[in-house]
Amino acid sequence: MTLTDAVPDAILEIRYYGTYNFVGQRIDGYEQPTALLTRQAAKALKTVSDNVMAQGYRLKIYDAYRPQRGVDHFVRWAANVEDTLMKPYFYPDLDKSVLFEQEYIMEKSGHTRGSTVDLTLFDMQTEKELDMGGTFDWFGPESHPDFCGNPETGEYTGDNSKSPATPKRSITEQQFKNRMILRRAMLTHGFKPLDTEWWHFTLKDEPFPDTYFTFPVKQLNK
């Protein structure tokens, strides 16, 4: 279903419909700037939205269902190591040739099963995205939920030893706490995290665990 039918207060910034993404062009299969999810995932996300709105935030969605043709586009792009147009913005510390090896790009994605969402929080008081200390789709350990802290306990440690940058990048205690606000809300309401991306969550009891869909991203008829 269309995500905003279930969560009308969600803000959409569908990165793969536009050009500000790690490829630098619209991704195959994204025909409209909308977001789709299975009904089960959308229903669970509504409870997340209610949770964070009570804290003064709205959900901002970067990606949800992703057709297989979109994943195939990523794979073709990654295989062309000469195309580094967006390297300064998304993977400045990496040689593009390692993207497959380090599993930043894979031939299958949980997004294609329809119950995974990439998102952040929008602060209704400041009218800005909550500062998470890093951009969506940053390829590097700085995106890991355990960067500079322990996501299981919510403790900030400041440990930036995994960062390859010189001087090593870090995130502040507040930025780590902001990531934890999102994480707690998602885990409380039925989603499971990914250990390499603070913005990525999948419904625990996803209804199509073995199905990879191919239909395009566009507004659905009710």
Write the pLDDT tens digit of every residue in 67-112. Answer: 999 999 999 999 999 999 999 999 999 999 999 999 999 999 999 9
Residue 158 lies in a domain: no
Helices (H), the chain: 3-6, 39-53, 68-79, 87-90, 173-188
Residue 10 lies in a domain: yes
The CA angle 204-14-43, to the nearest 5 degrees, is 35
Range of the domain at 72: 3-139+173-203
Q: Is the pTM of this model over 0.95?
A: yes
Q: pLDDT band for 166, please (50, 70, 90 cuts).
A: confident
> Using CA atoms, how far apart are residues 15 and 117, in angstroms rounded to an integer?
12
Among residues 45, 31, 42, the alpha carbon closest in space to that of 214 is found at 31
Query: How many domains is the chain partitioned into structurally?
Result: 1
Q: Give the catalytic positions in this structure.
A: 197
Among residues 114, 95, 145, the alpha carbon closest in space to that of 39 is found at 114
Residue 20 lies in a domain: yes
Instruction: Answer whether residue 222 shows pLDDT above 90.
Output: no
Q: pLDDT band for 221, please (50, 70, 90 cuts).
A: confident
Point out which residues pair with 149 in neighbouring strands: 156
